[in-house]
Each structure stands twice: as structure tokens, then as C-alpha cells.
Structure 1
Amino acid sequence: MKVWQKIFSIFVGICMLAVQLPVAAGEGGEPDISAQAAIIIEATTGRVIWEKNADDRLYPASMTKMMTGILALEQMNLRSDITMSSAAAHTESSPLGVLPGERIRTDELLQGMLLESDNGAAVALAEAMAGNVQAFAGIMNGKAAELGMKDTHFVNPNGLTAEGHYSTARDMAKLARYAMQNKEFREIVAQPQRVIRWEAPKNKVFHAHNTNKLLGKYEGMTGIKTGWTQAAGGCLAAGAKRNGVELIVVLMKAPTLDDRFKDAAKLLDYGFEHVKMTKALSRERVSRKVWVTNGQQASANLYPAQDINFPLINGEDKSHYTLTYNVPKVVDAPLKAGTPVGQIVVRYNGQDVEHVDMLAENVNSGFSVGSFLVKIFSWVLKLV
């Protein structure tokens, strides 16, 4: 065999070996994590920055309580009392220690559930909302469908291991992103600790500590929820915000309790290294005019509820983003200042990624010639 043929054969062999051997995790700047599944998303748009087995169906453990918590915030009177049932009180892993017949306010129970990951608290909230756990699971699954969680099915409100109770890192990230858009939820999960107080007996309290060990230790940490069972392994949904960039990471089936926090820190570091924000629209510089009927003026200005920034991943160009103003041509008075009237739709490569409300200035009801003419023209155009 000629020399050049030998060299070529060696080169081909090396190439084949390179194809056959998997690239070790961590090479090429990829995050080196122990969790079986994980995902990093940008919080304002939900765009995926990095993922690993993000569609594997796994046990979500107590990350389930994000769903129970957001439903409680949306559906319950937080100042109402809950009397602890025997079933709720005797649920395993309930560190608050609420006994059967004791009364505790809904917001206190909710805080204890999200901070201490109390399983009995989740059952009590479920019973208060739906009568029983099974009925509440139906509400959870309806909300999951609404959020586009296509690979999720809940059978209980706390995440204790059960057949048919599963989710994915991608779906849990959708849930975490949605929950963190709720101001009250966001405030609860950001607390390192809180004193939980009973209504009866009046003197009973519990000093709850957030199970998220990254709070106060990872720069910019905003929350959100831990999870652990023997079957699920270490689970964690965690959020952080730095320099205008907000990220959410979800990881599932880490080998140990501590591994989930180490993995989350690596994932957040990776995300912050690969995402930059660029300003697209300043709310002070943008307005849209709409015509007004039945008002003391013929037109009103609409303003964006907030600045709009585009997350750019891995140095991409912002030309992939577009803004569309989805606002009516005519509105009826009265309008209170700050009333949402239409939206700005943010799209990335043609896909909706964010909706920002357009807010009205104050418009009083009454009569003006201009407003009357608007009403006439609007009526005529509808007939055409």
C-alpha cells in the first residue's frame, strides 16, 4: 500500500471513531449536568436557550405545587379560613403539622405549601377548591391544556409519586413561566422564610424556610420550586434575573438533593452567557390613536404597558423579531386610565412569543361633536 493510501486509511479511521464516540457533556461550552432532563428558557418570551431530554415524561415531584399554587391564587379568596381535614392532615411529608380540625387562613396555607413544600397543605387547598383531590386534578389538567402542557397529566395536587402523574422539563418550564407572571406568586417564592400563623388555635405558629437553597446564594435568584421523591429524584424549577435578562431553568431526575442546585447554577450561568437583551420599544416614546364614541373627546391615545426588549440568543440578529399593533379603530367611552385596549404582539420568526397590553388614557363619557361624528361614521361603515 502506498504511503498516501495509508495516511488516508488512518484519517478515515479517526473520523469513524469520532462519529461513533459520544461527545462528553460539557465539551464545546455545553453545561455539564447530572440531571436526566433539563431546559433553559428566556422568561419574557419563553424561547428555549438549551435543552436536554426536555420531552422525557418523568415524575415532577413537588414542582407540581406550582400548579396548585397558581390555581389557588386565581380562584380562591386568600383571606378565607380552611379547616384541616383528616385526610389532608395525615398526608405524608407535611412539616407544617396542621392537625385535623385546626383552622388556618388560605394565604398562610399557600405560603407554607410553596416554601416548606407541605403536601397536606396542597391537599387542603385542593379540597377547598374542588371538594376532593380527584376533582381538583381535573382542574389542574384543564389548566395544563390551556398552557400548552402537552405531555403532562396530574392525579394529585402535591406531586407524591402516583401512576399517571407525570410531566416534562419543557412543560414544567411553561408552568413556571406562567406562574412567575403572577405578582403574588412571585413574591411568595422569593421569600427565604416566613412565619405561618393559625386562626385556631390562635397561638400556633410555624417558622417556614424556603427549600430553594439558591435563594440568597445565587446572584439574581427569584424563586421558584423544588421537588424530591425517591422515584422522581432531584427536581427544581429556578428563576434568576440579571442585567434585564430573566431566565427560568427546570431540571428533573438529578441523582441527589444537592445535585439539583449545582445543576441549576450551571444552567443559569450558561443561559446568562448566551442571552443579551436589546431595546426594541420604549413605552414613553410610543403611542397609538383610537377614535372615541360617546365621549367628551373624539380620540384617545394608547400606550404600551411596558418597554419591550428582545432577547438575542447566541448573538442572533434582532431582525427575526417583529411587532404588530393589535388595537381597535374605535372605542366607547368611558375609559379609565390604564384600561387595556388591544395589545402589541411580539413575534419571533412569525411565531407569537409575547403580548404587551396597550393601555388607554382617561376618557370621560359625554358629548362632543367630534365623538358624535365618529359614532355616525362608525355606524355607516358597519352598514357598508
Structure 2
Amino acid sequence: MKRFISLCAGMSFLCTGLSHAAILNIDPTSVPAAAWTIFDPQSGQTIAEFNSHAQRAPASLTKMMVAYITLKEIKAGKLKRNEIITANDVVHVVQPDESQMFLRPGQKISIDQLLSGLVVMSANDAAVTLAQRIGGDLPHFVARMNQEAKALGMTDTHFTNPAGITMDGHYSSAADMAKLGNALIQQYPDYLYYSKQTSYTWNNRTHHATNILVKQDATVDGLKTGFTRAAGFNLALTAKRPTMNPDMPDRRLIVVVLGTTSPVMRAEVAHRLMNLAYNYTRDEVAIKAKQPIAEIPVLSGQIKRYTITPQNNKIMTTSLYQQPVAIDMRSFDQASGLLKLNGQTVQPLAQTATKLQVQLNKQQLTAPFNQNVQLATVKIYQNNQWVEDVAINNDVKLEPASLLQRFWAWIKQILPFFKEAASPATIFPLH
């Protein structure tokens, strides 16, 4: 019989797991954007989303992939930030009405300057110049872009150019851009050095950052803006803010909004979604690494019982909103950071209502045994809604019983007064 335990703790597990349910229920009609998502990198959970897998023109959010590949080449030692390259005729593919640094063939410029131009100026000539330097030519670099997108699990994405020009077959999604943004931050956090700059000057031309929130909110440090007529106004936004939790002193969130109607609107929508998520969700550690969660009997082994322990901390995002109606973003007050419902302020919950249901996948093990095996599955619920399944995997190495141990086990089997009651699996209470 399978054994379960339910735990009301405002916590979760770590090993492996995928989120399948939004944490906050937001009325999409109250968000003036064609597609959007709020992503929590610490837990890997989507807090809320709308049309997040719809394939849309990403515009200059495309340049995050150019930056990702460039920083990857730098980390691998194949490129140096201070390397000086000479701009060539590739800059002529950039049309006069496109955002650019106004590079001209024969001009000298460093990789570092090109990265600033790419991110702050959103310069298309910086994008194609980096693409040609890394890929040899634009088609080879575009193939690299799609290869990297596939490796990152960006299943809604296909690139046809490095600058984000609207073309048939050039598309991505809010969810995929959140994945790309998270990969940039996790693998190459120095990207934020560029994306948090409020302006950049090259060759006596100054461009002020189109992400106006880097000036308005000190916690915002990127990621990228984008605009074409086909795409509308897009924004990938991230911020890092302190928490009251000593186990997790800082918390980062990523918001992507696509298809808004103005640069002010994209900033307002993204900022409101981000502030709502910070105020009405929080991250908590469900189980600490190496904390025992269960014991199961071992047959024919040198040890009699095996203790199941998660190998790492598991972080979970929990909802602090528990009203029966969907959130209307028009009722969110930016100044206070609070929602209003029927004229009454809705305070974030002080306690979370999370249930963890632990199911043992193995009731016992038999030695010898040497493999990585899933020993348990944890079902996580919030407010009676299933959120995710988490697999608890252990590298199990069990040596067979010694000759003396096997002899003693045989004695206990044949002599009734030595027999012991079968020892069932045990699940420990978690605190």
C-alpha cells in the first residue's frame, strides 16, 4: 500500500520538478498586453501568465540571444571584451530608420562597446557586427541562435536575423523570452551591467535607455526593450529586491510583456505585474538539503534501513492572495502596492496554505544496489490546487550483507523466538 503524508507548511521540496499551475489568478482582460508572463527564477515557477506561449514578433528582445552568445564566447575564451574589431560592409544591411550606433565601415570598436550599443542603444548595426564576428557571416550566426534556443528549451522560438527585424519565420513567446532572460542572469550575470545603464555614448552620440524603469526603480536592473510595428511595444524586465527571510535575503523576478501600445504602457504593465507578484507571493524553503524525509527497509544488506533525503534545498513560490475572484489589475494601487476588492484593501496573507503530499515510490530496497533512483514523489498543492510534482532522487549504494550477517538472518528465520516483526517504511514529519 502506498504511504502518504500531508503537510501544511507554506513550504516545498527540491530535487526535480516542473510547475504546471499559475500561483496568482489574474484576469487577463485587466492587463493591456497581447501576451505576458511573470516568472520566478528561484523556484522555476510561473506566477501568472496570459498567452505566454503564443508565437509573436519579439522585435529587439531578439538581441538578448545575441548578448547571450557573445557572453558565452567571452566566457569560453574565444572572445575578449577589449578586443578591437573593424566595422565592415555588414553594417549596410541596417536601414536608416532602424535603431543603430551609426557604425561605418573602417571604424574601430571594442566588443565591450558593441555590447553596450546592443543592449542600451538596441543598435542593429551592433547586432550584425557581433553576429559576423562570431559566426563568420549572418546565416551561420542565425543557425547558432536557433541552436542555443533549442538547448535552452525555447520551444516557441525561431530566429531568422540577429537584430529582431520583422520577418516570416522570426518569432518567439513571452515564456521563451523569460527562459532566455533567466539563462542570461544565471549564466552570465554581467549582462546586467549593460542592461541597467541609463544611457550610453559612443562617437559623440548619446542614447538614453528605452527601459525607463531603470531610472524610476532602483531595484530594476534590466533586461531589454523591443519595438516594431508588427510586434508592438515589448519589454523583458527583471528586478532584485530584499526579503524578510534570512534563508533567502534577495529575490529576483522576471516579467515579460509583449504587444503593448506604447513605451509608457509596456513599462507600466510590466512594473505593475512585478510589484503585484512581489507583494502577493513569496518564496520559501520547503525542505533543507539532507533533511531526512523517510526511511525504507533494506533486504540482504549491510544496513537494515535506508534514509531518503533531498540532495538540495527546494524553493517554492507561494500565494499570499486567497480571494475567490480573479485579480483585477486595475484595482492594484502602485503607491501602496495593495489590491482593492469591493472598496476594501486586500492585505497579503501572513501565513500560506500549502500542502505537501509525499508518496513513496519504493517500499523497500534489496542489496546489492547501486544506481540513481526516484524513491519518492511529492505532490504540492496551494489552496487545494495542484501546483507541481517533485521527484526525490537519490544515488543509492547498498553493499550486500556479510557472511556473518547472512548467517544471523538465517538463524532468525528458523528459530521462532528470534523472529522480528517486519519493519515497514516510515515517513518523517517535516518541520
TM-score interval for Structure 1 and Structure 2 normalised by the shorter chain: 0.5 to 0.7
Tell me what 1:350 maps to: 389
- When structure 1 is superposed on structure 2, of 136-145 and 88-97 the one drifting more is 88-97
Is the aligned partner of 1:266 residue 2:272? yes
Where 1:251 maps in the other structure, the secondary structure is strand
Q: Comparing both structures, which one devotes a greater share of its residues to helix? A: 1
Query: 1:223-242 to 2 correspondence within 5 Å?
Result: 223-242=222-241
Tell me what 2:49 maps to: 51
Greater relative CO (CA pairs within 8 A, separation 6+) = 2
Provide the rounded CA distance (Å) in 2 between the counterparts of 1:52 and 1:259: 17
TM-score (norm 2): 0.59
Provide the rounded CA distance (Å) in 2 between the counterparts of 1:64 and 1:173: 12
1:82–1:106 CA contact under 8 A, matched in 2 = yes
Provide the rounded CA distance (Å) in 1 between the counterparts of 2:263 and 2:172: 19
**What's the % identity of the aligned pairs?**
31
Provide the rounded CA distance (Å) in 1 between the counterparts of 2:238 and 2:93: 32
Provide the rounded CA distance (Å) in 2 between the counterparts of 1:321 and 1:220: 37
Tell me what 1:255 maps to: 261
Is the aligned partner of 1:133 residue 2:133? no
CA gap 1:108/1:316 in 2 versus in 1, 3 angstroms: farther
- What is the CA-CA distance between 1:266 and the residue it aligns to? 1.7
Q: Find 1:173's aligned residue among 130, 153, 178.
A: 178
> What do residues 316-339 of structure 1 show as CA deviations (whole Å, max 9, x unaligned)?
5274799xxxxxxxxxxxxxxxxx
Q: Comparing both structures, which one devotes a greater share of its residues to strand? A: 2
**Amino acid of the residue matched to residue 192 of structure 2?**
R
2:38–2:253 CA contact under 8 A, matched in 1 = yes
Tell me what 1:311 maps to: 317
1:46–1:177 CA contact under 8 A, matched in 2 = no
1:245–1:311 CA contact under 8 A, matched in 2 = no
Tell me what 1:144 maps to: 149
**Amino acid of the residue matched to residue 37 of structure 2?**
I
- When structure 1 is superposed on structure 2, of 218-227 and 61-70 the one drifting more is 218-227
- What is the CA-CA distance between 1:281 and the residue it aligns to? 7.0
**Amino acid of the residue matched to residue 157 of structure 2?**
T
Tell me what 2:295 maps to: none
Provide the rounded CA distance (Å) in 1 between the counterparts of 2:286 and 2:88: 52
Structure 1 vs Structure 2 CA RMSD: 3.3
CA gap 1:188/1:281 in 2 versus in 1, 3 angstroms: farther
- When structure 1 is superposed on structure 2, of 104-113 and 84-93 the one drifting more is 84-93
Where 2:114 maps in the other structure, the secondary structure is helix
Provide the rounded CA distance (Å) in 1 between the counterparts of 2:194 and 2:287: 30
Provide the rounded CA distance (Å) in 2 between the counterparts of 1:117 and 1:351: 40
Tell me what 1:217 maps to: 216
**Amino acid of the residue matched to residue 263 of structure 1?**
V
CA gap 1:261/1:282 in 2 versus in 1, 3 angstroms: same
**Amino acid of the residue matched to residue 60 of structure 1?**
P
CA gap 1:186/1:281 in 2 versus in 1, 3 angstroms: farther
Query: 1:280-291 to 2 correspondence within 5 Å?
Result: none
Query: 1:1-384 to 2 correspondence within 5 Å?
Result: 30=27, 32-76=30-74, 77=79, 78-89=81-92, 91-92=94-95, 93-181=98-186, 182-196=188-202, 204-218=203-217, 220-242=219-241, 243=243, 244-279=250-285, 309-314=315-320, 315-317=352-354, 319=356, 349-351=388-390
**Amino acid of the residue matched to residue 68 of structure 2?**
I
Provide the rounded CA distance (Å) in 1 between the counterparts of 2:355 and 2:82: 45
Provide the rounded CA distance (Å) in 2 between the counterparts of 1:321 and 1:102: 63
- What is the CA-CA distance between 1:69 and the residue it aligns to? 0.3
> What do residues 79-124 of structure 1 show as CA deviations (whole Å, max 9, x unaligned)?
2222112222551324321111111011110111101100110000
CA gap 1:270/1:138 in 2 versus in 1, 3 angstroms: same
Where 2:168 maps in the other structure, the secondary structure is coil
State how many pairs are aligned. 282
**Amino acid of the residue matched to residue 236 of structure 1?**
L
- What is the CA-CA distance between 1:219 and the residue it aligns to? 5.1
- What is the CA-CA distance between 1:240 and the residue it aligns to? 1.6
**Amino acid of the residue matched to residue 217 of structure 1?**
Q
1:89–1:97 CA contact under 8 A, matched in 2 = no
TM-score (norm 1): 0.66
**Amino acid of the residue matched to residue 317 of structure 1?**
T
CA gap 1:216/1:319 in 2 versus in 1, 3 angstroms: farther
2:43–2:314 CA contact under 8 A, matched in 1 = no
Provide the rounded CA distance (Å) in 2 between the counterparts of 1:318 and 1:125: 49
Tell me what 1:6 maps to: none
> What do residues 192-230 of structure 1 show as CA deviations (whole Å, max 9, x unaligned)?
22444xxxxxxx454343221011313521211000001
1:126–1:133 CA contact under 8 A, matched in 2 = yes
Provide the rounded CA distance (Å) in 2 between the counterparts of 1:174 and 1:321: 29
Where 1:50 maps in the other structure, the secondary structure is strand
- What is the CA-CA distance between 1:153 and the residue it aligns to? 0.2
Where 2:33 maps in the other structure, the secondary structure is coil
Tell me what 1:326 maps to: none
Provide the rounded CA distance (Å) in 1 between the counterparts of 2:178 and 2:126: 23
Tell me what 1:343 maps to: none
Unaligned runs of 5+ in 1: 1-27, 197-203, 287-305, 323-345, 354-376, 378-384
1:89–1:98 CA contact under 8 A, matched in 2 = no
